[in-house]
Amino acid sequence: MDLAFAELDFFRDGQDKLPIYLALRADFTALAPGCEVRVHKTSISFSAPRPFVYVGFPFRKNYKGWPDRHLVISFNADGPREHPQVVQSTFIRNKLYTIHAVVPYPGELDPELLGMVRFSLHYRNPSGGKT
């Protein structure tokens, strides 16, 4: 899947984070070949056909303990999740949480965290979608 100009433009003011995004993009498109990548004002979503993960800039500046340079991925789960990179699990409704995780470097999406995103893909797209 070719990189769209809109994706590059999203990182116009944060070019140091583009390598992190490119690694995440490769991981997410491998999870769901043929998924749709859509650029929004504050994030980039990956859908198959429903959105299963969002990539965005930090939603807080200078948060204690967060690395200076990083991206945040947000995805759904059926309950709170624990992982060193998970910074927040937000209750939405019964059996639906939004999980926010920090990714400071390219390739920092370990198998456990990638498994959580895979769960979100299937949780949001129970009929299989474009996987």
Domain count, the chain: 1
Residues 37, 68 contacting (CB under 8 angstroms): no
Residues 114, 41 contacting (CB under 8 angstroms): no
pLDDT by residue for the chain (131 residues), tens only, comes to 789 999 999 999 999 999 999 999 999 999 999 999 999 999 999 999 999 999 999 876 656 666 667 999 999 999 999 999 999 999 999 999 999 999 999 988 999 999 999 999 999 998 755 54
In a domain, 45, yes or no: yes
For 23, the domain range is 5-124
Domain holding 84: CATH number?
Answer: 3.90.1150.30
Please tell me the predicted confidence (pLDDT) of residue 108: 82
Mean pLDDT over the full length of the chain: 91
AA identity, residue 62 = N
